[in-house]
A = this chain, B = another copy of it.
Amino acid sequence: MSNPQPTPNNVTSLADRRLLHETVIDQLRDLIVQGELAPETKLNERVLAERLGTSRTPLREAIKFLASEGLVELLPNRGAVVAPLKPEKMKEVFVVLGALEALAGDLACRNASEADIAEIRALHFHMLAHHAAGELAQYFKYNQQIHSRIMDCAGNATLAASYRSLNEHVKRARYLANLSRERWDKAVQEHGEILDALTRRDGARLQALLRDHLANKLVLVMEALDKRKAEAAR
Q: Is the interface of A mostly helix, strand, loop or mixed?
A: helix
User: Complex Cα distance A154/B60, Å?
Assistant: 34
Question: A21-B64, A64-B64 given as contacts; is B158 within 8 A of A93 (CB)?
Answer: yes
Is A9 interfacial (CB 8 A cutoff)?
Answer: no
Q: Are B62 and A161 in contact (CB under 8 A)?
A: no
Number of copies: 2
The smallest C-beta distance from A87 to any residue of chain B, in angstroms, reads: 13
Within the assembled complex, what's the spacing in Å between the Cα atoms of A16 and B158? 37
**CB within 8 Å of B: which A78-100 residues:** 89, 92-93, 95-96, 99-100
Partner of A162, one of B67, B103, B162: B162
Which of A40-48, A68-76, A125-133, A194-202 lines the interface with chain B?
Answer: A68-76
Docked Cα-Cα span, A92 to B156, in Å, equals 6
Asked if residues B96 and A100 are in contact (CB atoms below 8 Å), the reply is yes
Residues of the B chain whose Cβ atoms lie less than 8 Å from the Cβ of A21: 64
- Chain B residues positioned under 8 Å from A103 (CB to CB): 95-96, 99
Q: Which of B19, B64, B66 contacts A62 (CB 8 A)?
A: B64
Task: State whether B162 touches A96 (Cβ < 8 A).
Answer: yes
A17 at the interface (CB under 8 A from B): yes
Contact (Cβ within 8 A) A161 B77? no
CB distance from A59 to the nearest CB of B (A): 11
- Across the two chains, which residue of chain B brings its CB closest to A95? B156
Residue from A62, A76, A162 with most neighbouring chain B CB atoms (10 Å) = A162
Question: Chain B residues with Cβ under 8 A from A99's Cβ?
Answer: 99-100, 102-103
CB pair A67–B70 under 8 Å, yes or no, is no
Closest Cβ–Cβ distance, residue A16 to chain B (whole Å): 11
Q: What residues of B have a CB within 8 angstroms of the CB of A68 in the complex?
A: 64-69
Query: Cβ of A234 < 8 Å from any Cβ of B?
Result: no
- A74 to B25 Cα, complex, angstroms: 13
Cα–Cα distance between A21 and B76 once the two chains are bound (Å): 10
**Cα distance, A57 to B59, chains bound together (Å):** 12
In the assembly, what is the distance between CA of A60 and CA of B157, in Å?
26
